[in-house]
Amino acid sequence: MSLVDSTSTTAGAPDPKDGPTPARRLPKAGLPLVLLAIAALILLLSIVAAVTGAEDLTSSGTIGAALALAIPIGMAGLGGLWAERAGVVNIGLEGMMILGTWGAGWAGYQWGPWTGVLVGTLMGAIGGLLHALATVTFGVDHIVSGVAINILGLGAAQFLSVIAFEGVPGGGESQSPPIADIAEISVPGLAGPLLDLQQKQIFLLSDLAGVVRGLATGVSLMTVVAILLVIGSYFVLWRTAFGLRLRSCGESPVAAESLGVNVYLMKYAAVIASGAFAGVGGAFLAIVAGNGYREGQTAGRGFIGLAAMIFGNWRPGGLAAGAGLFGYTDSLQLRRGPESVHALLLLAGVLLIAAAVFLVVRRRMVAALVTFVAGVLFLVWYALTDTVPEQFTTMTPYVTTLLVLALASQRLRMPAADGLPYRRGQGA
Give yes or no for a contact between 109 and 176, defined as CB atoms under 8 angstroms apart.
Answer: yes
Instruction: Please classify residue 37 by burial: count the beta carbons closer than 10 Å to its beta carbon, then call 0-12 exposed, 13-18 middle and 19+ buried.
Output: exposed
Q: Is 183 left (phi over 0), alpha (psi -120 to 50) or beta?
A: beta
CATH code for the structural domain at 53-336: 1.10.3470
pLDDT of 367: 79
Distance CA 375, CA 99 (A): 40
Q: 9: closest CA among 23, 27, 30, 28?
A: 23
pLDDT of 400: 73
3-class state of residue 42 by DSSP: helix
Going from N- to C-terminal start, the domains of the chain cover 53-336, 337-411
pLDDT in tens, the chain (428 residues): 344 444 443 344 444 444 444 434 434 446 677 778 888 888 988 998 888 887 788 889 899 999 999 999 999 999 999 999 999 999 999 999 999 999 999 999 999 999 999 999 999 999 999 999 999 999 999 999 999 999 999 999 999 999 999 989 999 999 999 999 999 999 998 888 999 998 888 888 999 999 999 999 999 999 999 999 999 999 999 999 999 999 999 999 999 999 999 999 999 999 999 999 999 999 999 999 989 999 999 989 999 999 899 988 899 998 998 899 889 888 877 765 567 778 888 888 888 898 889 889 888 888 789 889 989 998 999 999 888 877 777 777 777 777 766 666 556 789 999 999 898 877 65
263 Cβ contact list (under 8 Å, min separation 6): 249, 253, 256, 257, 422, 424
Q: Bridge-partner residues for 220, per DSSP?
A: 184
168 Cβ contact list (under 8 Å, min separation 6): 176, 177
pLDDT of 409: 59
pLDDT of 326: 87
pLDDT of 97: 98
297 Cβ contact list (under 8 Å, min separation 6): 98, 101, 282, 285, 286, 290
Burial 203-217 (b: 16+ CB within 10 A, else e): ebebbbbbbbbbbbb
Q: Can you spell out the DSSP letters for 242-270?
A: HHHHHHHHHH-HHHHHHTT--HHHHHHHH
- Number of residues that make up the chain: 428
Longest dimension (CA), the chain: 70
pLDDT of 151: 97
Residues 259, 235, 150, CA angle at the centre, nearest 5°? 85
